[in-house]
A and B are shown apart, each in its own frame.
Chain A
Amino acid sequence: MASEQPGFWARVQRASVERLHIRLESLVVLLALSTAMALLSPYFLSLSNFLNILLATSTIGVLAIAATFVIGSGGLDLSLGSVMGLAGVAGAFVAVNLGWPSVLAVLACILAGGIAGYINGQLVTRAFVPAFIVTLGMLGLARGLALVISQGRAIYGLPPEIVYIGQGRPFGVPMPVIILVLTAIVAHAVLAYTRFGRHTLALGDSEGAARAAGIRVEHHRRIIYTLSGALAGLAGLLFTARVNAGDPTAGINYELTAITAAIIGGTNLFGGRASILGTMIGALIMGVLQNGLTLLAVQSYYQQMAIGAVLILAVFIDQYQVRKESRV
């Protein structure tokens, strides 16, 4: 247990975790990173670049929300990026190849993602295949199906309503940013303040305790995986609408960035602790990092390496703190 009189920093830390569900360190990292980028690049500090960062973060942000729910419940979803790609292609196929109304194309994105997630959930809870394997398999399955549907080529010629979802700017704010913010608000409320959210974290904390408390553990997990897939579908819609094409290769490696954002935001890799606000800060850190490195003309290959390194570093710091807390 901590000493009788915790220091100021420790108290602020605890208050921020308890009241706002945010790890203070992640805010510090975000500010430090932004300051560094502002000093290094004259283009960084501007409203248009700020909106650029948010826009680039929107897809990853939605995926990171999905990752937060799944990891918080003690699960794992490696298929996020592939399902996102599949959903985008499905939506474009419905709108362009079938020529159906845009509303149905939007629904097709969400539905395609939701079905993939539902299958993940069924396999994890009924077939007793570990989530790691199920979602790794789905990563291949969904990507392959996206390539089959699109015959390996991007589907162009989306209707203007869908393009507006990706490129519209009501009041100067990009639509994907608005959708991300709304999704994050709802997701935060659900995770932090509803029975569903509390049961999700309890489940990730101790499945035995959740079961003993009468929570229908398997049923709950199936909902979480389905939700994760549906959110990946939403991310696919945002991406497809923004680039104005159903690209079967969209979202490759995005699960890496999304999971990293969730972990940086304070999600416990093994479940039981998670917050959407924290994850949004994590997603912004990833966004600022990528944006800054681009402004500094660092090759994208190195950006990929940076993200991988940040993931390992974030988990290391988290585990280091857990070990330190359990020692005292």
Chain B
Amino acid sequence: MTLLSLRGIRKSFGAVDVLHGVDLSVAAGEVVGLVGDNGAGKSTLMKTITGIYRADTGSIEFDGKDILALDPGQRRRLGIEMIYQDLSLAKQQDVASNIFLGREPTKKLLGVFPGFVDKSEMDRQAARMIERLGAHLPSINRSVGSFSGGQQQTVAIARALTFNPKLVIMDEPTAALAVREVQSVLDLIRRLRSEGIAVILISHRLNDVLSVTDRIVVLRHGRADADLVTARTNMNEVVSRIVGGGDTAAAAAHEQRG
């Protein structure tokens, strides 16, 4: 079943055309790797899916609905989550505040005044989510800016998973992590797939992409240049499609070594 379907997405910033008509579809519970050289348009494409950018032309359907006109908050409520490379955390706020930012549970103060944030409920759910991820944080009442990179990543992941998303987009989730943390992120992606959650993984680490995805889409010059089934491709082919042909044996061998 197709969960997300993009057709003919174009996006330009002033005179610079970034996306020249991208087609992309993702099925429910599918893990799709999105690879491409720097400047191929990966981040721009993802931001048109989350609604940070509005596509100039083209159509975006999610779960059978046209979402082109929706803002980021509305798309999030439909079940599209993104973990940004810079994590997009509010560093001076605590764990629960970040996880629930923009969708805080509320209660009535003294049973009268509505709209008050239910902080204890937030803390409880945040603690449960962090525990479910098998992570350890010094304290969930500390500002996230005081955490290590891996711990901050945990908070960003927890934020993406707390509201039962249908699609999680991860932008270079392993780029800044230690070896063991990389493995736990890859395990997490496999777990999401087994729970029927679709994942779009953007990564320069082709070993990670080859080991965890079902499909690999290569973005090149603002187009989806290749759509490869992971089980029937290899490092050599992926690298060759990214750089656009030529002798890529040396580059592929380099990537293989990781």
**What is the interface of chain A, defined by CB distance below 8 A to chain B?**
1-2, 18, 189, 193-196, 198-199, 201-202, 205-206, 208-216, 268, 272-273, 325
Which of chain B's residues have a CB closer than 8 A to the CB of A210? 90, 101-102
- CB <8 Å contact, A198 and B117: yes
Contacts of B102 on A, CB cut-off 8 Å? 199, 210, 213-215
B146 to chain A, nearest CB (A): 6
> Is there a chain A Cβ closer than 8 Å to B73's Cβ?
yes
Query: Which of A2, A193, A213 meets B101, CB within 8 Å?
Result: A213
Distance of A263 from chain B, by nearest CB (Å): 15
**Which residues between 92 and 139 of chain B lie within 8 Å of chain A, taking CB atoms?**
92-94, 97-98, 101-104, 106, 109, 113, 115-117, 119, 138
With A198-B97, A206-B91: A212-B146 Cβ-Cβ less than 8 Å: no
- In the complex, 11 of the A-B residue pairs with CB atoms within 8 angstroms, ordered by the A residue number, are A189-B113, A195-B104, A195-B115, A198-B101, A199-B101, A206-B89, A208-B88, A209-B90, A210-B90, A216-B71, A272-B92
Q: Is the interface of A mostly helix, strand, loop or mixed?
A: helix
Residues of A within 8 A of B94 (CB): 18
User: Complex: how many Å from CA A268 to CA B75?
Assistant: 32
**How distant is the Cα of A201 from the Cα of B71 in the complex, in angstroms?**
21
Contact A205–B90 (Cβ < 8 Å): yes
Residues of A near B138 (CB, < 8 A) are 1
Q: Does chain A have a CB within 8 A of B66?
A: no
Complex CA distance for A295 and B182, rounded to whole angstroms: 66
Q: With A1-B138, A213-B102 as known contacts, state yes or no: A195 contacts B117, CB within 8 Å.
A: yes
Residue picked from A196, A198, A211, A215, most chain B C-beta under 10 Å: A198
Asked whether any CB of chain A lies closer than 8 Å to the CB of B150, the reply is no
Query: Which of A18, A193, A268 counts the most B-chain CB atoms under 10 A from its CB?
Result: A193
- B76 contacts the other chain (Cβ, under 8 Å)? yes
Asked whether, in the complex, the Cβ of B72 is within 8 Å of the Cβ of A214, the reply is: yes
Taken together as a complex, chains A and B put the C-alpha atoms of A213 and B101 apart, in Å, by: 6
A325 contact set on B, CB distance < 8 A: 146
Taking a contact as CB atoms under 8 Å apart, the answer to whether B93 and A205 are in contact is yes
- What is the size category of the interface that chain B forms with chain A? 35 or more
| Residues in B whose Cβ lies below 8 Å from that of A208 | 84, 86, 88
Q: Are B74 and A211 in contact (CB under 8 A)?
A: no
Closest residue of chain A to B76 (Cβ to Cβ) is A214
CA of A212 to CA of B89 in the docked complex: distance in angstroms?
Answer: 9
Do the beta carbons of B52 and A194 come within 8 Å of each other?
no
A213 to B88, CA, bound (A): 9
A194/B74 in contact, CB under 8 A: no
Assembly CA distance A271 to B188 (angstroms): 34
Give CA–CA (A27, B251) in the complex, Å: 62
Complex Cα distance, B108 from A189, in Å, reads: 12
Which residues does chain B contribute within 8 Å of A199, judged by CB atoms? Answer: 101-102
Q: Which residues of A contact B146 (CB under 8 A)?
A: 1-2, 325
User: Which residues of B have CB within 8 Å of A201?
Assistant: 90, 92-93
Indicate whether B189 reaches chain A with its CB closer than 8 angstroms. no
User: B12 an interface residue at 8 Å Cβ cutoff?
Assistant: no
CA distance A211 to B52 in the complex (A): 8
Q: How far is the CA of A221 from the CA of B141 in the complex (A)?
A: 27
Q: Of residues A18, A195, A216, A268, which shows the largest number of chain B Cβ atoms within 10 Å of its Cβ?
A: A195
Closest A residue to B102 using CB positions: A213
**Chain A residues closer than 8 Å to B74, beta-carbon distance:** 214
> In the complex, what's the smallest C-beta–C-beta distance from B49 to chain A, in angstroms?
13
Q: Which residue of A lies closest to B138 (CB)?
A: A1
CB-contacts of B30-60 with A (<8 A): 50, 52
Contacting pair B88 A194 (CB below 8 A): no
Q: For residue B218, which residues in chain A have a CB less than 8 angstroms away from its CB?
A: none
Q: Is B202 an interface residue, CB under 8 A from the partner?
A: no
**Cα-based distance from A43 to B128 in the complex (angstroms):** 57
Residue of A nearest to B87 (CB): A209
Q: Which residue of A lies closest to B113 (CB)?
A: A189
Whether, in the assembled complex, B82 has its beta carbon less than 8 Å from a beta carbon of chain A, the answer is: yes
Name B93's contact: one of A2, A194, A202 (CB within 8 Å).
Answer: A202
Instruction: Give the 9 A-B residue pairs with the shortest CB-CB distance, closest first.
Output: A214-B73, A213-B102, A205-B90, A272-B92, A213-B101, A209-B88, A202-B90, A212-B88, A214-B102
A209-B90, A214-B73 given. 19 additional CB < 8 A pairs? Answer: A189-B113, A195-B106, A195-B117, A196-B115, A198-B93, A198-B104, A199-B102, A201-B90, A205-B93, A206-B88, A208-B88, A212-B50, A212-B72, A212-B84, A213-B101, A214-B71, A214-B77, A214-B103, A272-B92
- In the complex, are the beta carbons of A193 and B91 less than 8 A apart? no
Closest to B101 in A: A213
Assembled-state Cα–Cα distance A216/B103 (Å):
13
Alpha-carbon separation in the docked complex, A196 to B72 (Å)? 18
Residues of B within 8 A of A211 (CB): 52, 72
Closest residue of chain A to B98 (Cβ to Cβ) is A209
- Closest CB-CB distance, A128 to chain B, in whole Å? 15
A272 touches B72 (CB 8 A): no
